[in-house]
Structure 1
Amino acid sequence: MDRDTDRYRSLTRRTLLLGGLKVGLLSTLVGRLYYLQVVESQRYTMLAEENRISLRLVAPSRGPIVDRFGIPLAINQQNYRVVVVAERTRSVPETLDKIARIVPLTEADRRRVLREVQKKRRYVPVTVRENLTWDQVATIELNTPDLPGVSIEVGELRHYPFADSIAHVMGYVGAVSEAELNGDPVLSLPGFRIGKSGIEKYHEKALRGTAGTSQLEVNAVGRVIRELSRDEGQPGREVQLTIDIGLQQFVQTRLSQEQSAACVVMDVHTGGIYALASHPSYDPNQFPMGISAELWEELLSNPTTPLSNKAVAGQYAPGSTFKMVVALAALESGLISPRHTTFCPGHMDLGDHRFHCWKRGGHGTVDMVGALRHSCDVFFYDVARRIGVDRIAEMSNRFGLGQPLGLDLPHERPGLIPTRDWKLAQLGTSWQPGETLVASIGQGYVLSTPLQLAVMTARMANGGYAVKPHLTKQIKLGPHEQTTWPAIGVKKENLDVILRGMNEVSNSPNGTGFKARITEPGMELAGKTGTAQVRRITMAERAGGVIKNENRPWRERDHALFVAYAPVHAPRYACSVIVEHGGGGSAVAAPIARDVLLECQKRDPGRASVADAPPPFGTGAGRG
Structure 2
Amino acid sequence: MTKSPREIIDSSRKIGRRGLLLGGIQLGVITTLALKLRSMQVEHAEEFRTLADGNSIKVRLLPPARGLILDRNGFQIAGNEQNYRVTLTREDAGGDVKPVLQRLSKLIPISEVRMAELMEEFSKRSAVTPIILADRLSWEQFSAIAVNAPSLAGVTPESGLSRFYPRAGDLAHVVGYVGPVSDYDLSKIEEPDPVLKLPEFQLGKVGFEARMEDALRGTAGSRRVEVNSAGREMRELSRQEGEQGATVQMTLDARLQNYAAQRMGEESAAAVVIDVQTGDIVAISSSPSFDPNKFVRGISSTDYRELMDHDHRPLADKTVQGVYPPGSTFKMITLLAGLEAGVINAGSRFYCPGYTEVGGRRFHCWSRGGHGSVDAINSLSHSCDVYYYELAQKVGIDRIAAMARKLGVGVRHDLPMSAVAEGIAPDRAWKQARYGQNWQVGDSLNASIGQGYVLASPLQLAVMTARVATGKEVKPRLIRAIDGVPQPVPEFADLGLNPLHLRTARQGMDAVMNASTGTARRMRIIREDWRMAGKTGTSQVRNITAAERARGVVSNEQLPWNRRDHALFVCYAPYEMPRYAVSVVVEHGGGGGAIAAPVARDIMLFALAGGLPPLDAVPDEQRAAMEERHNAMHLLAPEAPRLTRA
TM-score in terms of structure 2 length: 0.86
Relative distance call for 1:106 and 1:594 in structure 2 (3 A) is farther
Q: Which whole-Å deviations, capped at 9, do the CAs of 1:298-330 have from their partners, x for residues lacking one?
A: 333433222211101111110000001111111
Equivalent position amino acid for 2:261 in 1: Q
2:530 match: secondary structure:
coil
Contact conserved, 1:123 with 1:223, CA < 8 A, in 2? no
Relative distance call for 1:56 and 1:146 in structure 2 (3 A) is closer
Contact conserved, 1:318 with 1:530, CA < 8 A, in 2? yes
Q: Which whole-Å deviations, capped at 9, do the CAs of 1:95-129 have from their partners, x for residues lacking one?
A: 425523xxxx5554333345567789999976432
Work out whether 1:250 is the aligned partner of 2:291: no
Contact conserved, 2:186 with 2:192, CA < 8 A, in 1? no
Q: Which whole-Å deviations, capped at 9, do the CAs of 1:160-219 have from their partners, x for residues lacking one?
A: 000011101110011223324433222222221111111111211111111122222344
Q: Which whole-Å deviations, capped at 9, do the CAs of 1:64-96 have from their partners, x for residues lacking one?
A: 111111010100100122567979997733642
Distance between the aligned counterparts of 1:566 and 1:124, measured in 2? Answer: 57
Relative distance call for 1:344 and 1:236 in structure 2 (3 A) is same
Deviates most, 385-394 or 403-412: 403-412
Contact conserved, 2:71 with 2:253, CA < 8 A, in 1? yes
Contact conserved, 1:267 with 1:574, CA < 8 A, in 2? yes
Contact conserved, 2:108 with 2:141, CA < 8 A, in 1? no
Work out whether 1:279 is the aligned partner of 2:287: yes
Relative distance call for 1:550 and 1:121 in structure 2 (3 A) is closer
Work out whether 1:210 is the aligned partner of 2:224: no
Relative distance call for 1:110 and 1:575 in structure 2 (3 A) is same
Match of 1:612 in 2: none
Q: CA deviation at 1:356?
A: 0.6
Work out whether 1:165 is the aligned partner of 2:170: yes
Distance between the aligned counterparts of 2:67 and 2:145, measured in 1? Answer: 36
- Select 1:179's aligned residue among 167, 187, 190: 187
Match of 1:473 in 2: 480
Contact conserved, 2:129 with 2:198, CA < 8 A, in 1? no
Equivalent position amino acid for 1:161 in 2: P
Work out whether 1:448 is the aligned partner of 2:453: no
Match of 1:96 in 2: 105
Q: CA deviation at 1:277?
A: 0.4
Identity %: 46
Q: CA deviation at 1:141?
A: 3.9
Match of 2:48 in 1: 44
Task: Kindly tell me the number of residue pairs found equivalent between the two proteins.
Answer: 596
Distance between the aligned counterparts of 2:467 and 2:126, measured in 1? Answer: 63
Deviates most, 10-19 or 570-579: 10-19
Deviates most, 396-405 or 146-155: 146-155
Equivalent position amino acid for 2:218 in 1: G
Distance between the aligned counterparts of 2:25 and 2:370, measured in 1? Answer: 122
Distance between the aligned counterparts of 1:120 and 1:436, measured in 2? Answer: 60
Relative distance call for 1:405 and 1:59 in structure 2 (3 A) is same
Distance between the aligned counterparts of 1:73 and 1:488, measured in 2? Answer: 35
Distance between the aligned counterparts of 1:118 and 1:109, measured in 2? Answer: 14
Q: CA deviation at 1:254?
A: 1.3
Match of 2:371 in 1: 363
Structure 2 portions without partners, runs of 5+: 613-646
Q: CA RMSD in A?
A: 2.7
- Select 1:261's aligned residue among 261, 269, 274: 269
Work out whether 1:548 is the aligned partner of 2:555: yes
Q: CA deviation at 1:496?
A: 1.1
Deviates most, 91-100 or 355-364: 91-100
1:287 match: secondary structure:
helix
Q: CA deviation at 1:587?
A: 1.2
Distance between the aligned counterparts of 2:129 and 2:391, measured in 1? Answer: 76
Contact conserved, 1:96 with 1:110, CA < 8 A, in 2? no
Distance between the aligned counterparts of 1:210 and 1:122, measured in 2? Answer: 24
Distance between the aligned counterparts of 1:289 and 1:353, measured in 2? Answer: 58
2:549 match: secondary structure:
helix
Distance between the aligned counterparts of 1:373 and 1:168, measured in 2? Answer: 34
Match of 2:628 in 1: none
Contact conserved, 1:418 with 1:446, CA < 8 A, in 2? yes
Relative distance call for 1:79 and 1:140 in structure 2 (3 A) is closer
Deviates most, 161-170 or 16-25: 16-25
1:18-97 → structure 2 map (5 Å cutoff):
18-82=22-86, 92-93=101-102, 95-96=104-105
Distance between the aligned counterparts of 1:54 and 1:98, measured in 2? Answer: 26
Deviates most, 575-584 or 424-433: 424-433
1:572-583 → structure 2 map (5 Å cutoff):
572-583=579-590
Q: CA deviation at 1:59?
A: 1.2
Equivalent position amino acid for 1:157 in 2: S
Match of 1:490 in 2: 497
Equivalent position amino acid for 1:158 in 2: R
Contact conserved, 2:339 with 2:501, CA < 8 A, in 1? yes
Equivalent position amino acid for 2:207 in 1: G
Equivalent position amino acid for 1:396 in 2: A
Match of 1:336 in 2: 344
1:205-604 → structure 2 map (5 Å cutoff):
205-219=214-228, 223-258=232-267, 260-462=268-470, 464-603=471-610
Match of 2:114 in 1: 109
